[in-house]
């Protein structure tokens, strides 16, 4: 009985300790920003592996999500004779919610897991401690560029997702289901506000970029340096990212759109 209580206490303390380590780690990474600006080349290479290599999955998913939204939206809206509003529905749901959220989840699976595994393996093969021996700060040299690359890439990927999604919805709605072309775009333009919808969506994707990349690099850096430890860290990275993204999405949505 007492042992159970002790176990609970230890889990709590471990969790709190990890949270503290994660925050100190974030501060350390952020303090490395000037070094990144000196070595932009490192950042570019990471934007390639984190962002460019995610383009394919993001655009293909975006297209299908938009097309499904077109089909489902048309089904519901035609019940009310409001097919003309299909454009608003597709664009609003993509720009406000689905674009940032699904992109962040895909990003966690595609790029976050790779970051965790890469950094975890570097730690397991003692490349990170090797760098420390050479008086190179691995957090600034290895982690920093990956972290900032994630933050740069996420909003771009989310915008790409939303754009392709809107085009997919247009293709299905106007091309296949015969919604009026002009009404599709004009209603969308009339209802979607730049600041309210699009900028808030970009802010969301930026926050998700920070959250997902932070979790990914921290899990890698904090992993137990064995092959099992790295595999666990990779799993945790994806699971925690998904939780964090969905939780933060609720908080941000409540803050941004909850008022009216």
Q: Which of 77, 98, 166, 215 binds other proteins (CB under 8 A)?
A: 166
Decide: is 89 part of the binding site for other proteins (CB under 8 A). no
- Of 139, 142, 119, the closest CA to residue 43 belongs to 142
Q: How far apart are CA 161 and CA 163, in angstroms?
A: 6
Residues 232 to 251: which contact other proteins by CB under 8 A? none
Q: Which of 52, 224, 246, 251 binds other proteins (CB under 8 A)?
A: 52
Decide: is 47 part of the binding site for other proteins (CB under 8 A). yes
- Of 209, 211, 221, 216, the closest CA to residue 234 belongs to 216
Q: Are 73 and 90 in contact (CB under 8 A)?
A: yes
Alpha helices in the chain (DSSP H): 2-31, 33-38, 40-50, 55-79, 86-92, 99-107, 113-124, 127-133, 138, 144-170, 181-191, 200-221, 227-257
Task: Please state the separation of Cα 6 from the chain's center in Å.
Answer: 36
Q: How far apart are CA 252 and CA 259, in angstroms?
A: 12
Decide: is 45 part of the binding site for other proteins (CB under 8 A). yes
Burial class for 49, CB neighbours closer than 10 Å (0-12, 13-18, 19+): middle
Q: Which residue has the tokens 């004779």?
A: 81
- Of 168, 150, 152, the closest CA to residue 68 belongs to 168
Q: Which of 71, 131, 137, 185 binds other proteins (CB under 8 A)?
A: 185
Q: Where are the beta strands (DSSP E) in 37-190?
A: none
Decide: is 198 part of the binding site for other proteins (CB under 8 A). yes
Decide: is 169 part of the binding site for other proteins (CB under 8 A). no
How many residues at the interface with other proteins, by CB under 8 A? 31
Q: Which is nearer to other proteins, 18 or 189 (CB)?
A: 189
Shortest CB 234 distance to other proteins, Å: 24
Decide: is 171 part of the binding site for other proteins (CB under 8 A). no
Decide: is 104 part of the binding site for other proteins (CB under 8 A). no
Q: Which stretch binds other proteins (CB under 8 A): 13-21, 123-131, 149-157, 246-254?
A: 149-157
Q: Residue 236 corresponds to which tokens in the numbers above?
A: 């945790």
Q: Which of 111, 192, 207, 212 binds other proteins (CB under 8 A)?
A: 192
Q: Which stretch binds other proteins (CB under 8 A): 18-26, 128-136, 148-156, 233-241?
A: 148-156
Q: Which of 197, 219, 222, 249 binds other proteins (CB under 8 A)?
A: 197
Residues 5 to 44: which contact other proteins by CB under 8 A? 41, 44
Shortest CB 58 distance to other proteins, Å: 10
Handedness of CA 8, 13, 16, 21 (dihedral sign): negative
Binding site for other proteins (CB under 8 A): 41, 44-45, 47-48, 51-52, 55, 91, 95, 153, 155-157, 159-160, 162-164, 166, 185, 188-194, 197-198, 202
């Amino acid at each position: 009985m007492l042992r159970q209580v002790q176990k609970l206490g230890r889990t709590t303390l471990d969790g709190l300790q990890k949270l503290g380590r994660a925050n100190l780690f974030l501060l350390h990474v952020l303090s490395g920003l000037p070094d990144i600006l000196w070595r932009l080349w490192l950042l570019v290479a990471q934007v390639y592996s984190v962002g460019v290599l995610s383009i394919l999955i993001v655009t293909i998913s975006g297209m299908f999500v938009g097309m499904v939204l077109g089909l489902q939206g048309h089904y519901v809206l035609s019940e009310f004779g409001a097919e003309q509003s299909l454009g608003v529905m597709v664009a609003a749901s993509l720009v406000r919610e689905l674009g940032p959220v699904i992109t962040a989840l895909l990003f966690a699976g595609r790029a976050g897991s790779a970051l965790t595994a890469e950094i975890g393996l570097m730690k397991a093969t003692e490349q990170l401690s090797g760098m420390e021996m050479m008086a190179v700060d691995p957090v600034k040299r290895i982690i920093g560029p990956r972290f900032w690359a994630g933050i740069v890439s996420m909003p771009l990927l989310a915008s790409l997702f939303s754009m392709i999604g809107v085009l997919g919805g247009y293709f299905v709605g106007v091309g296949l289901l015969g919604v009026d072309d002009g009404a599709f775009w004009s209603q969308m333009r009339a209802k979607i506000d730049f600041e309210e919808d699009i900028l808030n969506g970009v802010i969301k994707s930026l926050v998700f970029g920070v959250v997902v990349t932070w979790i990914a690099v921290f899990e890698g850096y904090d992993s137990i340096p064995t092959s099992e430890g790295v595999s666990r860290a990779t799993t945790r990275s994806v699971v925690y990212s998904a939780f964090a993204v969905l939780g933060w999405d609720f908080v941000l949505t409540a803050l941004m759109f909850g008022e009216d």
